[in-house]
Each structure stands twice: as C-alpha cells, then as structure tokens.
Structure 1
Amino acid sequence: MNTKSLHTRLKMALLLHSRESGFAMVIAVSLGLIMILVGLTMTMRSQGDQITASQQKATDQALAAAEKGVAYYQQFINANRMLSRYDDCGPTNPDRATQPAGTSCSNTTAVSWANAATVPLPRVNSACNPGTADPDAIADAASTIWQAVDSTDVTKGQFRLVSYRYKPDNKNPDPNDDLSYYPGKGTLIVEGRMANSTSNDEETKAKAKAITRLQVVIPVKRPDIENVPIPGVWLGGSSTEDPDATGKNPIAANLLVNNCSLELTDINIVGSNFSAQKTDLSMPTLPEMPTTGVINLGTISTDTTIPVTTGPNASRHRPITFMGQPNTYVYSVDGMTGSGNTTLSVTSPNNVVIFLNGNIDKNIFVDYCRDVNGNRVSNCNPMNFKIFGRGPVGSFICLNGNRYLEAFILAPNYTVGVAGGGGGGGVKGAVWTRSWSNPNSSTVEGDCASNTANVVVEQQGSWSSLIGLQPKYLKPTIDPITSWQRQSVNN
C-alpha cells in the first residue's frame, strides 16, 4: 500500500472526527438551554396557575361574603319595613356606588337612613315596638365601611353596603297618602371580600384584591290590611289626656292606643278573641265632605228620622256615591242635644254618613237599626252607619248608658264616654277617637265619666266595611328578591 495514500486517509478521518465532536457539543448545550427554559416556563405557569386558583377561590369567598351582606340587609329591612321606602342617603346624593368604601353621606338634610338620628323617619323609629331599630342603629346600617361577616372568624370575609335606592311604581306619589308610595322596588347593592391584609405574599394580596359586587331588586308591596286586626276601640290621645285608656270599663273589642307609656294590664278586655296593643299607626284622615248631595240638618234637638223616603221632604233625601259606596245618604249635623228621650232614628239597612261638626250629649238616643215604624231590622250592619267627628280638640260624644249606638265613629279630636250604664249602653261597632272619658281622664265631660261594669263597646264589622279608611303608616309587604346580578370589582 502506498504510504502517502494511507497518511492522507488517516488525516481525513481525524478531521471528520474532530468536526463531529464539536457539533455534538453544540447540540448538548442547546438541549440544556431548552430544558432550562421549559423548566422556567413550567415553574412560572405553575405559579400563575396557583395565583389564578387563589384569585378564583378568593372571588368565590368574596361572593359568599357579599351574599351574607345581602341576607343581612334583607333581614334588616324586613325587621324595619318602613325603611324600605327611604334611600340610604337621599335621592339627590351622588351615587355612592362610585365612591370609595367608607364615604359619608354628603346629603345631610334628606329623609334617609344615614340621617335617621337627626331627620325623623315617619313611623320608622318605633316608640311602641322595641323590636325595631333605633335612629343610631339605622344610621350605622347606612355606613359603607367594611364589616366582618363573623366578628369571631376573620376568614369568613367582610361585606359593605354600597347603596339602597327605592323607586315607587307611581311616578308622583302623594306625600299625604303614604299608601301611594306602594308598590315599588328597592335596589340594594352590596360588596363582599376577604379580610384585607398588608402582607406582600402574592396569594394573600390576590385574596385581598378580589371584591364581588351584588345588585338585587327587592319588591315592596302594599300592606295587606287583612293581616291587621281591626280595632273596635282606638285611642290616639296622650298619657295626660288618657292615663288609663278605657279604665276599668269592660270592652269586648280589640284596643289600639298611641300612648306608648300606657300600662295595658289595667285595661278590662272581655273575651279571649280580643287584645290591647300599643301602635305607631295613625288613624285615617277624616274624609272630605262632598260639595254636593249633602243634606244639612243643623242642630238636632227633637225627634228626627233619616233618611226620609216618603212624603214631601223625600226629594231632599237623595243618596249619592260616597267613598266608592253607591246609594249613600250624607248629612251635615252641627250638634245633637235633647231632653229626656229625644231620638235620632236612622232607618236601616241604608248606608248613612253623618259629618258631625259639634257634640252629642247624653240626652239624645241615636238609633240606627230600626225601620220607620220602630221595628228592629234583622240584617243591620252597624258599619254601614258612619259618624265623622269634625269638631276641634275638646269636642265630645256622650252616649246614654241605657242604649247602644250602633255605628262606626271616627272622631280624632273627641272624647267619648258613656253616662251611667245601669241598663247597658255604649257602642256596637267601632269607635276611633282621641280619648275615653273615665274618672281618671283629664277630659271628663260633665257627668259622662264612664264608670260601669257593663260592656261599653261591642266590636263588630270588618275592613271590607271600611273602604278608604285604612290606618296610615301600615307596614308594607316585602317580597323575595326578583333580580340578582353579579359584578366584579378590582381595587
């Protein structure tokens, strides 16, 4: 073999071997770098997934905290249902949903939750019902600061009120008619989050930043009057005027009193179906006397029968539609005074209304449930005969203690009493007035201080007989939530 040729081949082999070694090194180094990048990527992705998972968990926990907040305010509104018609901060205040947590209500004069301690909320701050919130508690509820879901366990998170706004379906509610504000809708916005933290740990910071906002709509409906026991006696006077309500006079009726300091145990209720209660409700406003169709009887001092349906005066006694009731005879009377057995006979079963401008004394009998011949009418409903007392404070209705007046009496400024009562007398129906004349009352009228063992009021009738005469400030009905929206907020 040629020595030169062998040398050449050996040289070429060495050169080829040298080149392959360098290429392998490059490949090895490249693969190492790729593995490092893949490892870093996987590590970063794992950390990102962990943060994302923490954020999702925190968001879920924030949602749970917000739901707790919604439940809290639902319960608060339901316990203080008159609050449902008032905004948390007033309708003209800037939307606190756009303000930082803890922002104070800048509208300090509006009738609202936030101003409850300084601006009275009609019939919200109950003097008669200690179960309702006081003004300071209502103002505290209007705060937008964060509060703990559970003060003993910070891990359950926090919630805060963002805003509550009420909008009646009626675009122009009447301020003098509280029922015109119903029905309507209350929009409640609440936020929830995990407890705030100053930690630099990314997971903890993610939890602190996760805030969930919930907006719910709460339907506010008209009160259901059928759930309110109808009072046979309602006394709206103060404690000085009427320190012991009806006193020891027995009444077979539900009793309502606006004197919240009264001791109800001294009231003599007859019958297990009736009870005495303190109330923040107000008597209905006296209806306006019609401008036409009213018959003026002046002062009644002699035997009188109404309505007159036969004879030359029958044309004057024509019924009208009054308060939605057709065929109603409406009269204006300046006062009733008699001597002995003077009687006003009101024939039945007609709907009859008397607007009383003065007093009724004990010497006159008002007899509703008889016909023109003096015979008892079997289908008489006392609530179809209504007396609306329009006199000033100090006016009185003194009933004869020997006979019953069968009627519904609404006389907000009057004192009502029963003179004597040896034969049984008083009211069958209902009487809503300022005070009851009894020996301990400061408004005793003459010898009309009721002091008898006979039942002076026998309650009859139902709400269906008193259309348009519902009490004021009845609590609305709060229905379940009808709308639920979730909104994420990142601070």
Structure 2
Amino acid sequence: MKPRFILDFLSVGTKKSPAGFALPLVIMAGLVITVAAAAIAMKGMNDQNQVTAQKAKNSSREAAETGIERIKATMVSSPAARYMALYNSSQWNNLLNNDGSVNSSANATLAATLTNYLTELAKQTKEFTCTGNTATAMTALQGKLVPFKNTVTQASLPIQSDLSYRLVSYEYGGTQGVLSTTPQTGTLTIEGFSSTGTTSGTRLRVQIPISSNPSQRQDLGPTIPGLWMKEQGLANGTEPAPPFSNNSLGNQRYDADVVFNDCTDTINQQYMDFVNDKTPNSPILVGDKKAYKASFPMPAVPPQPTIPSGQVFSGINGTMTLPRRNAAGVITDSPIDGVYYYRVNGDINLSGSSTLTITPGQKVVIYLNGNIVRGTNIAHSCTGVTGCTPSNFRIYGISTATDPELCLNGSDIVNGFILAPNYKAGVNGNGKFVGSLWVKSWGKISNCGSSGNQVVLEQNETWDKLPPELQPMKMSTPALQKVTSWQELEVSQAQ
C-alpha cells in the first residue's frame, strides 16, 4: 500500500470539526444541572425539616407554657389546694387519698400539718356554718382536693390532639407543710410535648413566689352587723315568693347591717335586691345600711370561764339588778378581769313589772342555757353614760335543745349584744334593741313580732368595741404570686 494512502486514511479521524465537541458538552451540562438540582432539592428538604423541627419545638414550648398555667391554676383553685404548694410534688400523691382525704400512712409530720390546716379551714366553710359538724365540713373540703390530685398525678395531660404536658417536679423552698411569715419560693418544672410532624419536647422551669395572707377580719364593713342569722331571711316562715312586700316581712325596719348565712338555701338575689331597695318611703334598711350573704360562720360562743358558784342561777324569775349590791350599795359579785360573769341554767322568765336590769357602765356577760320567755323585760340603756356601749352587756345562748327561743319584749330600748347560734329570736311589742343579735333565725317565733312600721334594731358600733374572740377572722393562708424566672432546659436536664 502506498504511504500516501495510509496517511490520508489515518488523518480522517483527526480532522478538527465543531460537531465533534457538542455531545460531551451537552453531557457535561446535563450533569452539572442534575447535581445542582439535587443539591437544591436536598437543601430544600433540609430547610423543610428544620422548619418542621422548629415548628414542633415552638409547639412543645407553647405546651409547656400552657402546662405551667394549668398546674398553677390547679394549685390556686381553692384554699385547700393552695396549701399543697407548701409540699414537694413527691409528697402530693402520698399525702392525698383518691377522695381528697389525708393519707394516714403518709409521712406523719407532713400529714399532721395538712390535717390541722384543713380542719381549721373547714371551720370557715358554709358546711360547718350550717351543720356545726367538722366531719361534714371536712368531707366537703376534701372533695375540692380531688381535682388537684387527679391533675398533678397524671403521667401526661392533653392540651389538644397533638399537644400535651406533664409535671416533672415541684419543690417548695421552705419547710414542708409550714406557712412561713417570710416569703418563700416554689420551683415548678413542666415538660411540654408536640407531635406536629415530628415529636419534640421542651422543659420550662419557673419560680413561684409564695407569701402568707395574714389572718384578718372577714369583709363585713366598718360597723358590726346588727342582725346575723344562719337560716332563712326576715320574713315569718320561709321567704315569700315574689312579688315581695313589706307586709311579708312584718313591716319591721332595721337601722343595722344584716347578714344571711342562708343555710336553708331559700334566699335568692331577687330577695336580696328587695331587702336592699332604698327607693320606698319606708325602706327595710335605714340609711346606708345593707344586707348581704356570707358563707363564713358567725363566731363561736367564747369558752365559759370559771364562774363563782354564787353567780350561777337555776333561772331568773323575778326582778334582779346585775351586778348585785348589798344594802350599802357595794357590789357583792366577783368580776373576772373587770367583767361580771353569770350562768343561767334555766329560763329568764319575767312578767308584769319584773325587770332584769343591767347597770350601765358595768360589763356583764350571761351564759344562758335556757330561753328568754315572751313578756320578759330587760333594761340596759347607755344613754348619757360615759364609756357605756351596747356590747358591755352580752348574752351567750348555749342551749343545745331543739330551737330554744329569745323573745325580746317591751317598749323600752335595750342596749346589748346577743350571740346565740342555736336560737330563734324576735322582738315583741314596740321595743327596740340597740346592738347586735347573732342567732339561728329571726322572726320565726309564734306571737313574738311587731307589725308596726318601726325600727326594731339599731347598730352603729364599730368592730373595735368587740373583743377579738367575737370578730370573725379569716385564717392565714398561702398566697401564690405571679410566676417569675422562666428558664428553658434541655429535656435531659432537671429532675
């Protein structure tokens, strides 16, 4: 073969032509685009995952915040629940039975402090006010702890379908079960969960300042209630159905604040509005006096001191002046801390002109284990006597009989203070009582009432005139303040 031919043949494959580079360029460009698209897709997926994760994290944080609000609301839902803030959460389940009663097999010291608090708290409830039975009141009070236990002992508490929370821990900074007079702190840790796209959890720890609500007098206004009754209202029998009228209340008027415990649940708001109405020419309550309901009890009768035997009577059936004096005018009865105490084991039953007279300016207390019978005249007037107040003369009704009675009689003005939680009471004739009558019911005694349009009760004394044991007090209770010091924790932290 000729060398020229061979050279020409080999040179065919080496000729430079633009068409020879097109295919590699296309392949290379496609590869670059594919890689770029994949990178963009992967970045998009990563961004989406981050968005989903952040959304789940935000949701779990919101769940934890909601959990804090709900646990805090549970802790302040009642005075009984507030006291649980003085114990660590590790004790909550141990201290409470499922019915809200105190678990006697729990830590003895902690169980005792909780029992003592609940017992005193029960004595301020309407159940105790109306029954006088601590066990009944305790049962009602314990029922309010059931929602607390049911909430704080759950492993997980739902908020909505994809959100939930749980109580991790609560630690009280003071001595457990002791309400300190100095501010303390409770540390609450809650974990929130979200299952929005991906499961996520967030723990939040907050501080709850805890102070003490000091013991103070119940909110009853500046003046002592003139009439305080446990059952029913001012009408004879049960309260009338509307429309009300003064005739249905006996036309009696009151220049005194009136308090209803309404243990019979017969007093509605319409009745209260009627009693408080000041538009009639002769309103039931005079001037700025008002009537209101109270769930807390009237004070208990103070313990009886040791009364000298000569000052204990089987009854009072004739004229008598207290304290007693001899012919020379010297007081022969013996006082205790400036107060003359007497006990009457039967009735005070005077008729005609017979009168029980209390010397104005002297302090006299009678423990009455009987009745004041209709027709009995009692005289105690502070008019013109310096230092004399109605509460200088006090009668404590202590009879446990069924519906003992106090029927105040006559046309005179009697200054005094009567505390008789188990007694029916009323004013007969044209008399007026200046002071306070705290009794079971009013106007429910047959033939002991007044149909005249007159003021039968007047009270303008302020609380400082009464000894502390006669002032209805709120007991000291824990006060949980606004949450402070929010801290977000890793889920692996913070037990």
TM-score, structure 1 normalization: 0.63
Equivalent position of 1:454 in the other structure = 454
Equivalent position of 1:280 in the other structure = 295
Counterparts of 1:16-415 in structure 2, within 5 Å, are 62=61, 80-81=78-79, 83-85=81-83, 87=84, 95=91, 107-111=97-101, 122=122, 139-142=146-149, 143-144=151-152, 145=154, 190-197=188-195, 199=197, 205=199, 208-225=200-217, 227-229=219-221, 230-237=224-231, 243-244=238-239, 247-248=249-250, 249-259=252-262, 260-263=265-268, 264-265=271-272, 266-267=274-275, 269-293=284-308, 295-308=311-324, 311=327, 314=330, 316-321=332-337, 327-334=338-345, 335-369=347-381, 376-392=384-400, 393-415=402-424
What displacement does 1:456 show? Answer: 1.6
Q: Distance in 1 between matches of 2:394 and 2:289?
A: 23
CA contact (8 A) 2:232 2:267 kept: no
Q: 1:95 to 1:288 in 2, by over 3 A?
A: closer
CA contact (8 A) 1:166 1:185 kept: no
* Secondary structure class of the residue paired with 2:408: strand
Q: 1:480 to 1:166 in 2, by over 3 A?
A: same
Equivalent position of 1:470 in the other structure = 471
Q: Distance in 2 between matches of 1:170 and 1:366?
A: 54
Which amino acid in the other structure matches residue 460 of structure 1?
N
What displacement does 1:366 show? Answer: 1.8
Deviations 1:184-226 (A, max 9, x none): 9897554444542264xxxx65xx2321233424223234216
* Secondary structure class of the residue paired with 2:426: strand
Which amino acid in the other structure matches residue 336 of structure 1?
I
CA contact (8 A) 1:123 1:280 kept: no
What displacement does 1:82 show? Answer: 5.3
TM-score, structure 2 normalization: 0.62
Which amino acid in the other structure matches residue 466 of structure 1?
P
What displacement does 1:479 show? Answer: 6.4
What displacement does 1:409 show? Answer: 0.8
What displacement does 1:307 show? Answer: 1.6
Q: 1:222 to 1:159 in 2, by over 3 A?
A: farther
Q: 1:273 to 1:123 in 2, by over 3 A?
A: farther
CA contact (8 A) 2:374 2:428 kept: yes
* Secondary structure class of the residue paired with 2:101: coil
Q: 1:426 to 1:124 in 2, by over 3 A?
A: closer
Q: Where does structure 1 lack aligned partners over 5 or more consecutive residues?
A: 1-46, 97-102, 113-118, 173-180, 322-326
Q: Distance in 2 between matches of 1:340 and 1:167?
A: 69
Q: 1:209 to 1:171 in 2, by over 3 A?
A: closer
Which amino acid in the other structure matches residue 380 of structure 2?
Y
CA contact (8 A) 2:218 2:473 kept: no
Q: Distance in 2 between matches of 1:448 and 1:58?
A: 74
- Aligned residue pairs: how many? 392
CA contact (8 A) 2:64 2:202 kept: no
CA contact (8 A) 1:221 1:477 kept: yes
Equivalent position of 2:440 in the other structure = 434
Q: Distance in 2 between matches of 1:408 and 1:281?
A: 20
Bigger proportion of residues as helix? 2
* Secondary structure class of the residue paired with 1:435: strand
Deviations 1:24-68 (A, max 9, x none): xxxxxxxxxxxxxxxxxxxxxxx9xx99xx89x959984x76666
Q: Distance in 2 between matches of 1:137 and 1:413?
A: 28
Q: Distance in 2 between matches of 1:235 and 1:273?
A: 20
Q: 1:475 to 1:404 in 2, by over 3 A?
A: farther
Q: 1:347 to 1:139 in 2, by over 3 A?
A: same
Which amino acid in the other structure matches residue 252 of structure 1?
D
Q: 1:140 to 1:108 in 2, by over 3 A?
A: closer
Q: Distance in 2 between matches of 1:293 and 1:66?
A: 67
What displacement does 1:389 show? Answer: 0.5
Q: 1:92 to 1:138 in 2, by over 3 A?
A: closer
CA contact (8 A) 1:282 1:472 kept: no
Which amino acid in the other structure matches residue 286 of structure 1?
V
Q: 1:332 to 1:105 in 2, by over 3 A?
A: closer
